[in-house]
Chain A
Amino acid sequence: MARLDRPVSRRQSQWLLLAAVTAFAPLATHMPVWLAVFAGAAFVWRGWIIQRGGRLPPRWLLVLLVIAGSLGVFFEYRSLFGRTPGIALLLIFLSLKLMELRAPRDAVVTVLLCYFLILGQFLFTQTILTACVTCLAVVITTAALLAANNDRPTIKQQFEHAGRLLLQALPFMLLLFVLFPRVNGPLWGLPEDRRTALSGLTDAMAPGTIAQLSQSDAIAFRVAFTGAFKGIAPAQSSLYWRGLVMPDFDGRTWRVSQTREAYTTPPYAEESRHSKPIDYELTLEPHGKRWLFALESPTTLPAESGLTRDYQLLSRQPVRSRMRYTQRAVPDIQKGLTDPPEVLQESLALPKNSNPRTRAIAISWRQRHGDNDAAILQAAEDFFSRQLLRYTLNPPLTGSDSVDEFLFDNKRGFCEHFASAFAFALRAAGVPARVVAGYQGGEINPVDGFLVVRQYDAHAWTEVWLSKQGWVRVDPTAIAAPRRIDSSLATAIPANETLPFLARNDMAWLKAIRYQIDAVTNGWNQWVLGYDPQRQRDLLTRLGLDADWRNMTALLTILCGASLLLLTGWVLRQRERIDPVRRAWQRFTAKLAKRGIVWQPWEGPDTLAARAASQLPAHATKIHAIARSYARLRYAAHPPSKGLVELNQSIRDLSL
């Protein structure tokens, strides 16, 4: 035990400094530069004092530094509360606490501060790397805690001891992780994450918006197919991950018009004419917006979400942490046959006096085909293929009549140009049409079988309303670049255009490594970070347990109790194994201890007997006899056969 009057030794200071630096280093990158320098300088100063000697700074200077640091944090963040300012304050306290290590109490406070800051890392990142760094830091800090109590063992022994202790704690940690009843919501979510910028689709689409996304290989979401499609993903060309519906056009930009949920259950019939339902589980990376992605057409809605009038899937809260939902999609469901007229009206609106050439040709289709909308749609598709449009990542900039310029002048564009022009042309011909943005395709990771959809899979297409069929998906990009839809982006664009590394088709070995890393990361996300009530239920059901939280608590209590019982039993057994001679000696020393003669564990029997006899001269003979008898039993080659019985008897007879 730490004695309160003992000063903190040099060795202990070194340990504490090491623990503080390991707790600080990973956090430094999240801190403002001045703070990192402040804490770093404090550590260097402390190290200097340890190595070269010197006095610790006086208390008034520390108080000044604390005030200065706190003011710095306040002016940096305009607050002393919340994630980053809180951690920043604690880092300042930690770096200055090292300057006043005067008693073991200070050492313990430092260690606890280190533990807290180590956990604080998870408020910033939760990757596997973070977990590894954290484990290392916990070992070092635990070793420092051990050293704070006993600084005699070597560095290696301290680490071994700390490692052993933590390994012993590991089973309990796993039990608690698996069985402790989970609450909904992320393990490490904090309200402050709101302002973080995340890449992904936005609620408006202008020329260039999606081409920009095609330069990012960040993951949008991962999909595990289950049911009939387990192990065999549906064809690439059917993987349209519908996200935002944009009926609102101002001549250049398409926008989402509705963000109100209209339906809490799908308003269309579930039965399909001839296609199999697709079951899957989608893990969405946080993108900070409300919309969710799903294959057409979802038959159930994720928890806390709804459909808008144009069947856009919306979560009630912005997606700020990884979110997982199970879906069953039925293709070929007819939707929108009963849509209210204002929805159709909205899908016909056009800005006045824009794109005259497209309008003219659209009006010519209407004149030729009368009120046959399906024939007009066919005419539009024919027109798009006749124009020999080229699919490219680097289209030329367009002016105010962007659709005209794309269709008649430069004839080069990315998917947003195609979708925009197609929807415009149909509206000009009087057919309700709108732009839909989402993702198309994805890539199966052969390691874990997950379909990974990245930002460069972002895509835009159109939906056209036909009186007999409702809303029909039409992808004008497929007319010019069918390979974008059938296979991937890389096969569809010209070879000289640059793509993010993962979207490319060369460098297979590097890609294989990335697959591995991604599979591990995904496993981590799914099973560690994403271990939510649902996963817990799944796992426990698979283990044949009823996953009610009451049962889980009971199971947890039983398992922890059983382990503790086992441990206690083991300790007791160890004690049982102490031989009877030893126990006799313990009884003897206990008797002496009552008279204030405490046996030191290093004292031999004769030494103790001599000491005891001098203090209790009346019992000297008996004490000496007991000690001699014990010594013979323990150390002689041939102890007397009845020695133990006699020893016990004489200890009983000894009444002090």
Chain B
Amino acid sequence: MQPSEHHLLLTQLLTDINRIILGKKEPVRMALACLLAGGHLLVEDLPGVGKTTLAHVLARVLGLDLQRIQFTSDMLPADIIGVSVFDRASGAFHFHPGPIFTQMVLADELNRATPKAQSALLEAMEERQVTIEGATRALPAPFFVIATQNPAFQIGTFPLPESQLDRFLLKIELGYPDAAAERELLAGADRRQMVAELTPRLLPPQLLELQQKTRSVHASPALIAYIQALAAFTRSSPLWVAGLSPRAGLALLAVARAWALLDGRDHVLPEDVQAVLPGVIAHRLRFHDDTRKVGAGETANRLIEAVPLP
């Protein structure tokens, strides 16, 4: 594929998705960038704003198998990764893979599960393999997790610890649609039906090629310096409890590359970094003054305006 072909293909993907998820161009683009960068996505918002639909659409257009795991408070790790069962006929144990053995996992309402169940998923996300009873089983490639989570102030939730939040490359919020989009949604066809009718645009090898392409987007020394300056500033600023980790810096660069690719560019601009910054830092920086509810956008703006371009 030629660069222009990439751009064309990615634009088509976005058009397809935006036909179903109405009025959410920015979050949709972020979600796609996250997958291109090969990371896992955390979607946090109230029930019913289209989190699950987003996952279904993404899986469909990218041509990936989707398994949905609905997390509940009585869930056990075996419910996610699978279990060995004794087969009387053969006289041996047989492994029954859990729902995690798929290309895309929709982990619905992750924060409803107990920490034990959560960590089973999160470990698989990090390692991209599962070890059960001594045997290591690789997960398919590509492997994506889209986790949704209700805002923590809802009843019956186990908030994810910061160390585990860090495993999600991006966190996005969908929010309510605007008036026009909502009217169109109400008037339009059944979303489930529309998803089913979508044709996949990609095969898994093509997706892997796109990911490869994302990694090769050029980041100039000036841009690397900018990302470093951003991370360094969060570490010295008294605003936040702790600064961004080097892993967060890598995440920022990876997503910024995907963003540049979505724009049809072969190099990253500071604007790309600034655009993806809210999704990268929202779940990684915590204000000292926790009582204030500060949106990801405002946090990112504060950071952007404090760090001059090198």
Contacts and interface: CB of A to CB of B under 8 A. Distances in A.
Contact of B238 (A152, A607, A631): A152
Nearest to A600: B305
B49 to A, nearest CB: 29
B308 A601 contact: yes
B238 A603 contact: no
Contacts of B269: 604-606, 631, 635
Contact of B270 (A157, A604, A632): A604
B309 interface: yes
B309 A635 contact: no
Contact of A604 (B236, B238, B266, B274): B274
B244 interface: no
11 contacts: A152-B238, A602-B304, A602-B307, A602-B309, A604-B269, A605-B270, A606-B269, A607-B274, A635-B268, A635-B269, A637-B266
Secondary structure dominating the interface of A: loop
B209 interface: no
Interface in A619-645: 631-632, 634-637
Nearest to A637: B218
A153 interface: yes
Contacts of A154: 236, 238
Given A153-B236, A153-B238, 14 more contacts: A152-B237, A152-B238, A157-B236, A600-B305, A602-B307, A603-B309, A604-B271, A605-B270, A631-B269, A635-B269, A635-B270, A636-B220, A637-B218, A637-B220
Nearest to B268: A635
Interface string B265-277: 0111111001000
A606 B265 CA distance: 13
Given A601-B309, A602-B304, A604-B309, A636 B267 contact: yes
B223 interface: yes
Given A153-B236, A636-B266, A607 B218 contact: no
A154 B222 CA distance: 27
B242 to A, nearest CB: 13
Contacts of B219: 635
Closest 9 CB pairs of A and B: A601-B308, A637-B218, A604-B270, A604-B271, A636-B267, A635-B220, A635-B267, A606-B271, A634-B222
Given A604-B274, A606-B271, A634 B236 contact: no
Interface residues of A, number: 18
Nearest to A585: B309
Interface string B221-237: 01100000000000011
Contact of A635 (B222, B274, B304, B307): B222
Contacts of B306: 602
B83 to A, nearest CB: 49
Nearest to A581: B222
Interface string A593-615: 00000001111111100000000
Interface in A505-541: none
Contacts of B239: 152
Nearest to A632: B267
Nearest to A151: B238
B243 to A, nearest CB: 11
Contacts of B267: 632, 635-637
Interface string A178-215: 00000000000000000000000000000000000000
Size class of the contact patch on chain B: 20 to 34
B95 to A, nearest CB: 47
Contacts, number: 51
Interface of B: 218-220, 222-223, 236-239, 266-271, 274, 304-309
Contacts of B308: 601-602
Contacts of A631: 269
Interface string A144-172: 00000000111001000000000000000
Nearest to B304: A602
A69 B238 CA distance: 39
Nearest to A153: B236
A601 B266 CA distance: 24
A354 B268 CA distance: 111
Contacts of A152: 237-239
Contacts of B223: 635
Nearest to B274: A604
Nearest to B266: A637
A537 B238 CA distance: 52
B139 to A, nearest CB: 33
A154 B234 CA distance: 12
A187 B241 CA distance: 50
A604 B307 CA distance: 12
Nearest to B307: A602
A157 B238 CA distance: 11
A142 to B, nearest CB: 19
A602 B222 contact: no
Residue of A153, A604, A606, A635 with most chain B CB atoms under a 10 A cut-off: A635
Contacts of A607: 271, 274
Contacts of B268: 635
> Which residue of B219, B270, B306 has the most chain A CB atoms within 10 A of its CB atom?
B270
Contacts of B237: 152
A604 B304 CA distance: 10
Contacts of A157: 236
A603 B304 CA distance: 9
Contacts of B307: 602
A591 to B, nearest CB: 18
A601 B218 CA distance: 23
Contacts of B309: 601-604
A634 B271 CA distance: 13
A490 to B, nearest CB: 62
A634 B236 CA distance: 27
A637 B222 CA distance: 11
B305 A602 contact: yes
B229 to A, nearest CB: 10
A271 to B, nearest CB: 77
Contacts of A634: 220, 222
Interface string A431-458: 0000000000000000000000000000
B293 to A, nearest CB: 22
A603 B301 CA distance: 11
Contacts of A636: 218, 220, 266-267
Contacts of A601: 308-309
Nearest to A155: B238
Contacts of A637: 218, 220, 266-267
Nearest to A156: B236
